[in-house]
Structure 1
């Protein structure tokens, strides 16, 4: 069984690894010059607990299960990570209800060791913090995403698979029981495979429209949300991640740490039409105002522009957050094809669980499309 996975981000590499573990001969095709240069390279590198997402949603299921699998994988493969914990804070009594909702979701989703703390208990953990209440998630952590992707790629190559860089996919069509994929790059050619997985991230919708037989209505609208990050000079004031109550389009400007303990803040939410990764220095004032709600001692001159990422969302301003979409043969009726749409946060945490779900759909084989009950939200 030959498989082509399009997209060498963390999810594409996880899918390639899972298919290789099941005996497939795997090629992961990537249009860029290196793996992990898109969405996966521009995240907060957080191992999420899974308390934000509606119970029963794909985000909730795959985040909670994916976290367990990710931690075990890091342990067994020597991938640097740390379960430093996280506090989600209410900085006013008006935000307490939001924490209560998140807490209830976390309990329903099976998030480990989630606890509701009043102010004094939270400040005892993080003395620089200002809040009226907080949720403590000790199972939340951080990971070296590049090392994670390198380990996933290593397993693919150990199984005889390969990574094909600078290999854009131009089109694909199914005939004679296989997918015939035409690709460009330095040596344009056509490859016939049994399995085709679209894990192209921001490019997933565009690729789907180049696959013959995919009905237009099965390609969801994509909305791009840019998130900028600012670094913070000086000695770290916190040892845990600090998140405010969520905002429309994201989780708010939160404090994350890297594995060296350095602080950085972000992302904010800026709805954009095209990919643009420049961080505007003048956004620092808005960042500082948001951060001072939970860290009043921040001096504005400590913030420095760092990097930006783009989240490939399926919902826009004023709309309820959309779920992940895993579109397989049982939904669209095309054998040997799975497409992933809207895989943003917590995609990194969910990657190993999502990979198993993709492989399960492909190993189950094609069936007639269902009229309802697909993995769309």
Structure 2
């Protein structure tokens, strides 16, 4: 027979967003249980990305992505410094090849400045090459963002978990949410796993990442009439053997699905490039196949060698992949985060976090404060 109990707050999902939300609510004095379907934290989107701290260059001014990326970056650097998590403010260059691309940099710079991004500089090609001599000599211009960086995201996740638990919160692993319903004064959840349970909570935060839309649909209530269609984009990464002749992150011009096949150097000095954008079939659903197709190396080499002509294809090795949860279809402009409480969807006590893709990692602490406000 399934257990049955009541609690104040349930957070669904122990990825970075769920951990940050759980921490914020626990530190505000709420009784918090985080339900995680896997047997450990941050198994999917949170841990399968570039580990970049984004400045906030690209996102539409006034959007949740712009607001939370800029605020979240500042909060994240402070958190990492205070908790002793490894971080490097290496900066990045967004490079334009040829005059056509160079003409587009002005709009990115203006948007970034409107978003409140600090210390930006528009460089001539010669200035960019002086900073990073291995760049293509056809780089006509670049944006230098000194506040971009890299960090140990896994140590960050553990720090969030530790602070959540120190504040009295807990995580229940191997506990998938199967269904539920919005009831008077509470939300009822049915969980599976080895110890199925019926949980009634005053507040439910749906931060389930890939499964957030499916879980939202499985909880009966007025919000189900407000749910978008899920889409998924797989992004693969290739590692680079040998020394990488750059000291900063190198980004090409962005496209509608990703920020391009960018070059990242991790804290250990290892280089990698990615992610690409492989739209999965419309009926795709988790769990996903995270294997990287070695044949994609040719496309990676062609794209990356536009800004790094010294890269040879034999240095590329399949590394890892992630899948971004999208709430807009292929070909549409990149959508905003959807962080929706009862005033939007009508289901009392429920906050849904939908389409939390990049820059979700950078934005996590700011998103958590936003959710804590919505949760009362």
Normalising TM by the smaller chain, what interval? over 0.9
Q: Residue deviations 1:193-235, cap 9 Å, x none?
A: 1110000001001000111114433111111111110000001
- Counterpart residue number, 1:201: 209
What is the RMSD of the two structures over their aligned residues, measured on CA atoms? 1.0
| Equivalent residues in 2 for 1:323-334, closer than 5 Å | 323-334=336-347
Measured in 2, the distance between the counterparts of 1:98 and 1:267 equals: 22
Measured in 1, the distance between the counterparts of 2:98 and 2:232 equals: 30
Q: Residue deviations 1:156-213, cap 9 Å, x none?
A: 1101111111000011223341222111101001112111000000100100011111
Is residue 242 from structure 1 mapped to residue 250 from structure 2 by the alignment? yes
Measured in 2, the distance between the counterparts of 1:188 and 1:263 equals: 44
Is residue 310 from structure 1 mapped to residue 327 from structure 2 by the alignment? no
CA contact (8 A) 1:329 1:362 kept: no
Is residue 277 from structure 1 mapped to residue 298 from structure 2 by the alignment? no
What 5-or-longer segments of structure 1 have no aligned partner?
364-377
- Counterpart residue number, 2:3: none
What 5-or-longer segments of structure 2 have no aligned partner?
1-6
Say how many residue pairs are matched: 363
Measured in 2, the distance between the counterparts of 1:31 and 1:278 equals: 21
TM-score (norm 2): 0.95
TM-score (norm 1): 0.95
Q: CA deviation at 1:75?
A: 0.6
Q: Residue deviations 1:250-290, cap 9 Å, x none?
A: 11101011111111000001101332211010110110010
Is residue 41 from structure 1 mapped to residue 50 from structure 2 by the alignment? no
- Counterpart residue number, 2:372: 359
| Equivalent residues in 2 for 1:164-313, closer than 5 Å | 164-273=172-281, 274=284, 275-313=288-326
Is residue 336 from structure 1 mapped to residue 349 from structure 2 by the alignment? yes
- Counterpart residue number, 2:362: 349
Match of 2:106 among 100, 108, 116: 100
CA contact (8 A) 2:244 2:270 kept: yes
Q: CA deviation at 1:298?
A: 0.6
Deviates more, 1:315-324 or 1:132-141: 315-324
Measured in 2, the distance between the counterparts of 1:174 and 1:251 equals: 38
SS in 2 for 1:308: strand
- Counterpart residue number, 2:120: 114
